[in-house]
């Protein structure tokens, strides 16, 4: 809004309400942003990973994205750079996004655990218990229309199930009120190229949902 628009807006408000003016708070005062949350938690030492990590890996991408991708935990490269999926698996993920005309700026990417487990071991139940509330808060702020769990471990961890990938990827689950799909972890695609075909089917479906959510959001304002 230009300065003159702003004054004419204020004049209209004054005509309507006299000297009693109701103002809305500027957006920055109204909303608690993802970066506010990141600043609040990025020195976390609730579990031992807080002492062994190099960098806290909060998440990256568009805070208004319709879709949030959730991996398992940062690896070596992510721990060094403070950003999820920047190593070999991350490069493949970027290529998959590019193949469906998306980039990491269109989506939001984070992990169940925000700190790297030593030697990339699986997350411990106690670590998940302490870290999952951070993911839930991120989702509360972003309000995505779809979550995509990347890999068996992320899916098992979030959904508290032990099903096989080939079964999970055919389902749509609900995670804390939000629809959740499951697909292969990009590391699994690097290890086993025969998973690339079903993963490609999954990502085409994910793109369709992404476009559907965007169009619903634009119709509903
Ligand atoms: N694997 C994950 O699950 N997350 C990352 O950020 C990197 C590799």
Q: 98 Cβ partners below 8 Å, 6+ apart? A: none
Please give the number of the atom of ligand 1 that sits closest to the Cα of 111. 4
100 vs 207: CA distance, rounded Å: 7
Token digits of residue 51: 């002492």
Find tokens 């807006």 and name the residue: 9
Q: What is the pLDDT of residues 17-65, one digit of tens each?
A: 776 655 554 554 568 999 999 999 999 999 999 999 999 999 999 999 9
Please give the number of the atom of ligand 1 that sits closest to the Cα of 109. 6
Q: What is the pLDDT of residues 159-201, one digit of tens each?
A: 999 999 999 999 999 999 999 999 999 999 999 999 999 999 9
184 CB within 6 A, ligand 1: no
Q: Are 139 and 67 in contact (CB under 8 A)?
A: no
Q: Which helix (H) or strand (E) holds 38?
A: helix 34-41
Token digits of residue 77: 């490269």
Using a cut of 0.85, tell me whether the model's pTM lies above it. yes
Pick the CATH number of 3-220 from 3.40.640.10, 3.60.10.10, 3.40.50.620, 3.40.470.10: 3.40.470.10
């Amino acid at each position: 809004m230009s300065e003159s628009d702003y004054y004419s807006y204020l004049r209209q408000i004054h005509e309507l309400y006299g000297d009693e003016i109701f103002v809305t708070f500027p957006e920055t005062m109204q909303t608690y942003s993802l970066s506010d949350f990141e600043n609040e938690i990025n020195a976390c030492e609730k579990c031992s990973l807080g002492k062994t990590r190099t960098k806290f890996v909060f998440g990256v991408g568009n805070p208004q994205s319709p879709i949030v991708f959730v991996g398992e935990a940062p690896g070596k490269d992510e721990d060094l750079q403070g950003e999820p999926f920047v190593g070999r698996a991350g490069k493949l993920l970027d290529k998959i996004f590019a193949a469906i005309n998306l980039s990491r700026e269109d989506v939001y990417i984070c992990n169940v655990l925000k700190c790297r487990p030593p030697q990339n071991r699986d997350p411990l139940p106690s670590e998940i218990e302490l870290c999952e509330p951070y993911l839930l808060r991120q989702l509360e702020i972003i309000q995505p229309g779809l979550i995509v769990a990347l890999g068996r471990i992320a899916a098992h961890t979030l959904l508290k199930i032990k099903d096989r990938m080939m079964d999970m990827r055919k389902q749509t689950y609900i995670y804390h009120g939000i629809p959740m799909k499951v697909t292969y972890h990009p590391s699994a695609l690097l290890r086993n190229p025969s998973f690339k075909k079903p993963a490609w089917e999954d990502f085409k479906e994910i793109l369709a949902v992404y476009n559907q959510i965007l169009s619903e959001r634009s119709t509903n304002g």
